[in-house]
A = this chain, B = another copy of it.
């Protein structure tokens, strides 16, 4: 469907312009004042049009445990998460829908789902998430979360002898699974991409990383991974490789201009230079890094070194939301306390560019997405500037980034197809989704994790906690 948004505010250099935007065959055809109306006219008055943002790292099924995991660092939090994660296919479907809806209603048009797979139903899990994202119409980068070591291997051993259970699925079987997923579901032109996404150095062998690199080269896939989220992982990398995780990933060839790395909290200056040289992208997950006490990622340093940075919500049980505007706000403000010189602080316009073009770059799609540019695909978000949370009128982008915008997303298009109108998702029944989420859950408020109890003593000793 073609359409023309009339009299809409867009960002111009240091200012705004009021223009018409023509969308033809899913792409931006023209941007200028007083254009001829092509297709359906859309009233853009008192509205702001921005390119869609990227929710560049999340785990959709964590939605089932949001709000319930107590204050714990990543390694113990993960043990807690896995103790209470009886996923089934229906839950995978519903939480993918929920993740898509919350992303859309906070300005996102793309989601990178580092998808937790149900053992024994791996392809079905992927098929289900793909189905959910297609139904909603959001652009999805489905990144099956794979590993080949068991959970306890992710904690440094320190001085102690540790034995870990072998992982239940051999490395080669995991790589075959990935290849099958690519054959069945990798359809970038239809808005669904598959990424290779080993969970991280803490739980993956070199063989798994190298197999993923091969798949990436063979099928032109983007690469994703967690990287140095915690102090414990920094220690573990030294134990495992005798060098930093970044140095090791560079050595085995995982870093590239289509590699995006979630968290990147504990990197050295040399590591930062490597990320810049390899043109890797950092996905900043500020809420999760605070929630799990992982630390403040050195985002200002990344920007100064020329590393591309974008934002993610991370999974909803370490955030515990999927509001991308919240991640953008906190992810840009947080760093003001790390550098006294305010001239280095991230401006609102920079934050918007990081969330849009930064996301596109990290997924090797900067030629197609991430900005209001004639010829690019029409992944667009229209914000209603007459809502209380965006008033009084001052600077639209300032209000959007620094405020707490509520109910402000009026319309969303992905590849030119409208999927939010009048503030409501039009492709699925959100009331029904709420009812299903309600029905599939129950108040469950006092969980005690057996696994946390089992590994806590060792964790505290290794991390020097008395």
Using a CB–CB cutoff of 8 Å, the interface residues on chain A facing chain B are 9, 14-16, 63-68, 70-73, 76, 98, 101-102, 231, 287, 289-296, 319-323, 326, 330, 333-334, 336-337, 339-342, 345-348, 386-404, 406-407, 430, 433-434, 437-438, 440-446, 463-465
Contacts and interface: CB of A to CB of B under 8 A. Distances in A.
A336 B231 CA distance: 13
A394 B70 contact: no
Contacts of A101: 388
Interchain residue pairs A-B with the least CB separation, the first 10:
A67-B398, A392-B441, A293-B336, A67-B399, A321-B404, A68-B394, A71-B345, A320-B402, A323-B404, A393-B441
B438 A395 contact: no
16 contacts: A63-B392, A64-B394, A67-B403, A70-B347, A71-B345, A76-B342, A290-B336, A291-B336, A320-B403, A323-B406, A340-B463, A386-B438, A388-B433, A392-B437, A393-B443, A394-B441
A437 B388 contact: yes
A304 to B, nearest CB: 15
A340 B392 contact: no
B71 A394 contact: no
B445 A337 contact: no
Contacts of A292: 336
A402 B70 CA distance: 10
Contacts of A446: 14-15
A229 to B, nearest CB: 12
Given A68-B395, A394-B441, A293 B345 contact: yes
Given A64-B392, A293-B337, A392-B437, 14 more contacts: A64-B394, A65-B394, A66-B399, A67-B399, A68-B398, A70-B347, A287-B333, A291-B333, A291-B402, A292-B336, A320-B398, A321-B389, A391-B434, A395-B445
Contacts of A443: 9, 16, 393-396
Copies in the complex: 2
Chain A contact surface mostly: loop
Contacts of A441: 391-394
Contact of A333 (B9, B72, B290, B323): B290
A393 B294 CA distance: 27
A214 B438 CA distance: 56
A384 to B, nearest CB: 11
Contact of A406 (B71, B294, B406, B430): B406
A54 to B, nearest CB: 18
Contacts of A392: 63-64, 66, 437-438, 440-441
A388 to B, nearest CB: 5
A393 B330 contact: no
B340 A231 contact: yes
Nearest to A14: B446
Contact of A394 (B387, B393, B444): B444
Contacts of A465: 340-341
A395 B330 CA distance: 24
A355 to B, nearest CB: 16
A15 B445 contact: yes
Contacts of A434: 386-388, 391
A391 B15 contact: no
A398 B447 CA distance: 12
A326 B400 CA distance: 15
A400 B72 CA distance: 18
A326 B294 CA distance: 20
Nearest to A350: B71
Contacts of A390: 67
Nearest to A347: B71
A347 to B, nearest CB: 6
A444 B393 contact: yes
Given A76-B342, A407-B407, A399 B320 contact: yes
